A and B are shown apart, each in its own frame.
Chain A
């Protein structure tokens, strides 16, 4: 390994991706949050009346809801020091040639190869709050798959939109879901028609650019009966000087016999508060899978959940958390069994080093409506040094006598004998640790699309540099 790689990953990021393209705000709503700001957002987007009402009601709920008293430290968030909406001067483009040069540069530095752009089904890129570039492949359109920015979907498909929007996660669900409901902007809307199988992953690249720019994207996914799709979102963010807030809401509806996988790789820079509400409604014989990788951010609080409301429904969560200096990854999963013969599984792997803290927080709730349900939870934590910490807070609430629920958790450090073995084969201590950590998270990494798996392994490798001394 070269000497110049002996850096903290954040510095590496600054070199590689850390840049701020000059902003061209078209309409930059003033800092802070008020009813006026919300009206302005709604007006500038030309939204229907009901959406403005929805936003205003959510704002009321936001004001009433207390900050969560549990979990990570959120006391540094200053809601009045955040821009709630920025629309870049660029409007949505259909072809790559139309995309402005500086945006293209951003993508080049993100490392999205040209060939891949053309190959991938629909690369959606969130530059600031608005999707500036979107390409839908013809075959998707032919099959009736809708893959748009959420704002665009509201304009083009108001009926489907109104039917499902805010139904899985009500606006008053929690403080940050309420905030998102009040000021949401951007995000993806996916509609998979009955019986359609989308072979390639639907991908979205996210990126925050403006300083102190909160990202409040809103994703709504509807998988009709018997359909299949995999949605992938990955994030990289440049380095900022002040705290940034990311409070997304993701709603997924998986209908009869459908199967949907939602993959996230989150690598926000380490001043971002990532407070996301993700929830899926899983109907009869349907399968929902959340694959969730949390690598960056200062604080992450994210518990993807599945409401198993149809007989035979299944929910799965695969989660990786990686906490380094100054980071707290408070991640987990929730499984609500609300129908007979439902099953769920949660696998969580976390790694903490350089003073980072990882917490697993999860819930398995087997209600009276769910006889013969099964659930299995496995969480493993690896601590790499004496200044790091890890917690496990699982809850199993079993109100049905025929349920079968298993939970297992382990905490350990890297075994000396494993290191010794690898080093006796000629690896340096760093390389050996990197290899062991990669092996530890491998059960989840192998579920990722290849380019993400490669990227993740490279990140781990970089992180391990200089982690032992």
Chain B
């Protein structure tokens, strides 16, 4: 599968012609809504959307992903991984739309929000609109803090609390970064979520 790191743009609308991983890094402060949309118009295509990033103090992200399945036999996995530092916020809408004739569609959306700081705000709206019957569609969304147990374990091994948290955040992103197939893109993204 091809890996493609998307440039920062406000409206991205794509019709994938071959199996592709689309990766989008978030971060910094943006007041605008980003729309990232995949329209499946070619049969047999399998894609992944990976949106990830660490929101630093006071920063916010407002993003919508849409995987719109218009023809039969397409697949999509959407991952939205965001870590929230002090007073940062995330507003995410993740849509899966399956049109009437798009049978044999397989679409999954996974949203993980890791809260590191205080005073964070997080709104998630995973939406399913399904008009066909022979499909598999699902989503999962979780929001949670870094677990005290995990931090305690690492500090008992000699790490400071800050170091422990950093490792946990790294591991959090790694579960999705590791899925990126092209090595150069993977390394770039790994560096991107660390900074």
Q: Which residues of A contact B (CB under 8 A)?
A: 381, 383-386, 388-399, 401-413
Cβ–Cβ contact B130 & A408, under 8 A = no
Contacting residues, chain B, for A389 (C-beta < 8 A): 129-131
- What are 7 contact pairs spanning A and B, CB under 8 A? A383-B130, A383-B135, A389-B129, A391-B130, A392-B128, A395-B123, A401-B119
B175 within 8 Å of A (CB atoms): no
Instruction: Give the distance in Å from the alpha carbon of A399 to the alpha carbon of B118 in the complex.
Output: 10
B139 interface neighbour in A384, A391, A392, A397, Cβ under 8 Å: A392
Q: B17-25, B63-71, B142-150: which lies at the A interface?
A: B142-150
Docked-complex contact A405 and B142, CB < 8 angstroms: yes
Q: Let me know if A398 and B142 touch, CB within 8 A.
A: no
Chain B: interface residue count, which band?
20 to 34
Q: Given known contacts A393-B127, A407-B141, what 16 new A-B pairs fall within 8 Å (CB)?
A: A383-B135, A392-B126, A392-B128, A396-B143, A397-B123, A401-B84, A401-B120, A402-B145, A404-B145, A405-B141, A407-B124, A407-B139, A407-B142, A408-B139, A411-B130, A412-B137
Contact of B137 among A384, A396, A399, A411 (CB under 8 A): A411
**Which listed residue (A390, A395, A404) contacts B143, Cβ 8 A?**
A404
Question: A393, B117: Cβ atoms under 8 Å?
Answer: no
Which residues between 100 and 150 of chain B lie within 8 Å of chain A, taking CB atoms? 100, 103, 113, 115, 117-145
Neighbouring A residues of B135 by C-beta, 8 Å:
383, 411-413
Bound-state Cα–Cα, A402 to B147, Å: 10
Task: Verify A401–B115 contact, CB threshold 8 A.
Answer: yes
Q: B145 contacts which chain A residues (CB < 8 A)? A: 401-402, 404
Minimum CB–CB distance for A419 against chain B, Å? 13
Asked, given contacts A389-B131, A394-B126, A396-B143, whether A411 binds B119 with beta carbons under 8 Å apart, the answer is no
Contact B140–A408 (Cβ < 8 Å): yes
Select A406's contact among B117, B118, B127, B142, beta carbons within 8 Å: B142
CB distance A401 to B128 under 8 Å?
Answer: no
Q: Cβ of B143 and Cβ of A403 under 8 Å apart?
A: yes
Contact B128 A412 (CB under 8 A): no
B103–A386 touching, CB < 8 Å: yes
A65 to B127, CA, bound (A): 27
Using Cβ atoms and an 8 Å threshold, which residues of chain B touch A397?
122-123
Chain A residues, Cβ within 8 Å of B144: 403-405
Q: How far is the CA of A405 from the CA of B121 in the complex (A)?
A: 13
A404 vs B141: C-alpha distance when bound (angstroms): 11
A453 to B115, CA, bound (A): 42
B134 proximity list for chain A (CB < 8 A) = 386, 413
Cβ of A241 to closest chain B Cβ, rounded Å: 31
> Are B143's CB and A405's CB within 8 A?
yes
8 cross-chain pairs, A with B, having the tightest CB-CB distances, nearest first = A392-B128, A410-B138, A407-B141, A383-B133, A411-B137, A398-B122, A405-B143, A396-B124
In angstroms, how far is the closest chain B Cβ from the Cβ of A408?
Answer: 5
User: Would you call A390 and B128 a contact (CB within 8 A)?
Assistant: yes
* Cβ A392 vs Cβ B119 within 8 A: no
Question: Which chain B positions have C-beta within 8 A of A383?
Answer: 130, 132-133, 135
| Residues B133 and A398 in contact, CB atoms below 8 Å apart | no
The chain A residue with its CB closest to the CB of B108 is: A410
CA of A381 to CA of B132, assembled, Å: 12
Contact B130 A398 (CB under 8 A): no
Q: Which of A386, A399, A407, A411 contacts B121 (CB 8 A)?
A: A399
State whether A395 touches B125 (Cβ < 8 A): yes
**How far apart are B111's CB and chain A's nearest CB, in angstroms?**
8
Q: Which of B118, B123, B138 has the most CB of A within 10 A?
A: B138
- A408 CB contacts on chain B under 8 angstroms: 138-141
In the complex, the answer to whether A411 meets B128 with C-beta atoms within 8 Å is yes
Interface centre among A386, A401, A402, A407 (most CB of B within 10 A): A401
Closest to B84 in A: A401
Q: Quick one: which of B157-183 are within 8 Å of A by CB?
A: none
Please determine whether B129 and A391 come into contact, CB atoms closer than 8 angstroms. Answer: yes
| Across-interface contacts of B142 in A (CB, < 8 A) | 404-407
Closest to A359 in B: B129
Distance of A295 from chain B, by nearest CB (Å): 20
In the bound assembly, the distance between CA atoms of A395 and B125 in angstroms comes to 5
Alpha-carbon gap, A401 to B84, bound state (A):
9
Closest Cβ of chain B to A427, distance in Å, is 21
CA distance A395 to B131 in the complex (A): 21
Instruction: Across the interface, name the chain A residue whose C-beta is closest to B145.
Output: A402
Question: Is A391's CB under 8 angstroms from B128's CB?
Answer: yes
In the docked arrangement, what's the CA distance between A159 and B36, Å? 57
Complex-state Cα separation, A385 to B103, whole angstroms: 11
User: In the complex, which residues of chain A have a beta carbon less than 8 angstroms from the beta carbon of B119?
Assistant: 401
Chain B residue at minimal CB-CB distance from A396: B124
**Distance between B91 CB and nearest chain A CB, rounded to angstroms:** 9
Q: How far is the CB of A59 from chain B (nearest CB, A)?
A: 35
A412's nearest neighbour on chain B, judged by CB, is B136
Cβ B133 vs Cβ A385 within 8 A: yes
Residues of B within 8 A of A404 (CB): 142-145
A407→B133 contact, CB < 8 A: no
Instruction: Kindly state the separation between the CA atoms of A234 and B137 in the bound complex, as whole angstroms.
Output: 33
- Give every chain B residue within 8 A of A399 (Cβ-Cβ): 120-122
Expressed in whole angstroms, the Cα–Cα distance for A409 and B126 within the complex equals: 9
By beta carbon, the residue of chain B nearest A366 is B143
Min CB distance A371 to B, Å, is: 10
